[in-house]
């Protein structure tokens, strides 16, 4: 494959690393991973402390903190409903967050930066599994095209900075993520946390039938966020190329199977039904992760084990998770 450069270039453990979005699902996992790997100078700001849409504040922050490395895991993120209902928010906020952070990072000499996008950047009808080179080869899925265009602009910004300034900045595109710290909101969440919440509530309420949208047949790929964090550090230390790198497990499961695993994990013993009159969404979404696996990185956490752990986290944080 062209432009693939995997060579070990370790990060200094005592250099300052800014994790943008450090309270989010991905950012918090990256923070935990960096701490576990001995990083001693990690900085983060909540959106209330530093709104990355505020260009002046972002430049002031970089001028003051002068991080040497940046992980850009701050974004306006949501499920299909939120993306479809508020497209301009997803476009505008993400463009602003990325542009301000990367412009300030360039101005203040950030050596290595990891930008995070998602699998929705690939064309709706691209062949499966999705390979990195399918970027910009066809039309996007219309329900989240605004978000995808913002993310594609981010990938292009990373590539342009590499080309114009020779910086070792890179992009990673994770598949569907889940795990501790996820968004369990009934309107804004992704499929797996939504299922966990629904089945957990069914247990709490003594409900004996749960009806899910669609047929349950669509296939999806799920990666535990701790694996994602491990892949991010691996890429920062081993990858230095212009193309985005897919991050996933390389295999998919049906939504029906996921619902069954979730039901078992929460202790739900009632009926699981499917309302086929509701839309299924795209039949399959699987990333080709051969570039990453060939470089030596592989996911470690199995789906059943990961879901059980996430259910335990959800129950422990039931009263404090995001509304
Ligand atoms: N979750 C997934 O399944 C998934 C899949 C593929 C890719 N990704 C990508 O991974 C990245 C992170 O996603 P996530 O799931 O971790 O999202 P998340 O849990 O919603 O976290 C996003 C974080 O971004 C911060 N943020 C949002 N707007 C901000 C602003 N204006 N200023 C400063 N900070 C702001 C938030 O900070 P506060 O908490 O302080 O408000 C939040 O902690 C995104 O780029 C996303 O595209 C996620």
| pLDDT score for 3 | 53
Cα dihedral across residues 303, 308, 311, 317: positive or negative: negative
Determine if residue 100 is labeled as part of a ligand binding site: no
* Residue 215 belongs to a domain: no
* Residue 315 belongs to a domain: no
Band of residue 321 on the pLDDT scale cut at 50, 70, 90: low
pLDDT digits (tens, 9 = 90+) for 203-217: 999 999 999 989 999
pLDDT digits (tens, 9 = 90+) for 297-308: 999 999 999 999
R_g over Cα of the chain: 19
Q: Could you tell me which residues come within 8 angstroms of residue 140 by beta carbon, excluding any fewer than 6 positions away?
A: 120, 121, 123, 124, 148, 149
Q: Is the CB of 116 under 6 A from ligand 1?
A: yes
* Residue 198 belongs to a domain: no
For residue 119, give the ligand 1 atom closest to its CA.
Answer: 6
For residue 176, give the ligand 1 atom closest to its CA.
Answer: 3
- Region 282-291: what's the mean pLDDT? 93
Using CA positions, which residue lies closest to atom 39 of ligand 1? 23
| pLDDT score for 183 | 86
Q: Is the CB of 180 under 6 A from ligand 1?
A: no
Q: What is the mean pLDDT of the chain?
A: 94
* Residue 195 belongs to a domain: no
CATH of the domain at 147: 3.40.50.720
Half-sphere exposure of 32 (CA within 13 A, CB side): 16
Query: Coil, strand or helix: which one is 240?
Result: coil
The total number of structural domains in the chain stands at: 1
pTM to 2 decimal places: 0.95
Band of residue 4 on the pLDDT scale cut at 50, 70, 90: low
* Residue 11 belongs to a domain: no
64 burial (CB, 10 Å; 0-12 / 13-18 / 19+) is: exposed
Q: Is the CB of 51 under 6 A from ligand 1?
A: yes
Determine if residue 174 is labeled as part of a ligand binding site: yes
Residues of the chain by 3-state class (helix, strand, coil), percent to 5: 45, 15, 40
Q: Is 60 exceeded by the pLDDT of residue 322?
A: no
Q: Check 18, 69, 122, 147 and give the catalytic one.
A: 147
Q: Is the CB of 44 under 6 A from ligand 1?
A: no
Band of residue 81 on the pLDDT scale cut at 50, 70, 90: confident
| pLDDT score for 319 | 77
| Ligand 1 midpoint to CA 195 (Å) | 20
| pLDDT score for 188 | 62
Tell me whether residue 18 is one of the annotated catalytic residues.
no
* Residue 68 belongs to a domain: yes
- Region 15-35: what's the mean pLDDT? 97
Half-sphere exposure of 182 (CA within 13 A, CB side): 33
Q: Which range marks the domain in which residue 296 is found? A: 17-181+221-251+285-301
* Residue 7 belongs to a domain: no
DSSP 12-56: PTTS-EEEETTTSHHHHHHHHHHHHTT---EE---TTT--TT-HH
| pLDDT score for 149 | 98
pLDDT cut 70: percent of the chain above it: 97
Q: Is the CB of 52 under 6 A from ligand 1?
A: yes
- Region 248-277: what's the mean pLDDT? 97
Q: Is 50 exceeded by the pLDDT of residue 1?
A: no
- Region 76-92: what's the mean pLDDT? 89
* Residue 12 belongs to a domain: no
For residue 53, give the ligand 1 atom closest to its CA.
Answer: 31
């Amino acid at each position: 494959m062209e432009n693939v450069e995997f060579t070990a270039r370790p990060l200094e453990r005592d250099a300052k690393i800014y994790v943008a979005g450090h309270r989010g699902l991905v950012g918090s996992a990256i923070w935990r991973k960096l701490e576990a790997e001995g990083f001693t100078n990690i900085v983060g700001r909540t959106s209330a402390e530093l709104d990355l849409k505020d260009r002046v504040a972002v430049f002031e922050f970089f001028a003051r903190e002068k991080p040497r490395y940046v992980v850009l895991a701050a974004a306006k993120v949501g499920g299909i409903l939120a993306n479809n209902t508020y497209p301009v928010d997803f476009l505008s906020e993400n463009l602003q967050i990325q542009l301000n952070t990367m412009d300030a990072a360039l101005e203040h000499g950030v050596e290595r930066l990891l930008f995070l996008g998602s699998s929705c950047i690939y064309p709706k009808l691209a062949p499966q599994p999705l390979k990195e080179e399918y970027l910009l080869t066809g039309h996007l899925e219309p329900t989240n095209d605004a978000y995808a265009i913002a993310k594609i602009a981010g990938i292009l910004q990373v590539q342009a900075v590499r080309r114009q300034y020779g910086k070792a900045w890179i992009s990673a595109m994770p598949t569907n993520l889940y795990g501790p710290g996820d968004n369990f909101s009934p309107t804004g969440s992704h499929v797996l946390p939504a299922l966990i919440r629904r089945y957990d509530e069914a247990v709490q309420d003594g409900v004996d039938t749960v009806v899910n949208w669609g047929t349950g047949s669509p296939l999806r790929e799920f990666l535990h966020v701790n694996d994602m964090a491990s892949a991010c550090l691996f890429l920062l230390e081993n990858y230095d190329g212009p193309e985005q790198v897919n991050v996933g497990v390389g295999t998919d499961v049906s939504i029906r199977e996921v619902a069954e695993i979730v039901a078992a994990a929460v202790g739900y013993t009632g009926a699981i039904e499917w309302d086929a009159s509701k839309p299924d969404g795209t039949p399959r979404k699987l990333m080709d992760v051969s570039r990453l696996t060939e470089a030596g990185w592989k996911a470690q956490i199995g789906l059943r084990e990961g879901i059980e752990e996430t259910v335990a986290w959800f129950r422990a944080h039931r009263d404090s998770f995001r509304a």
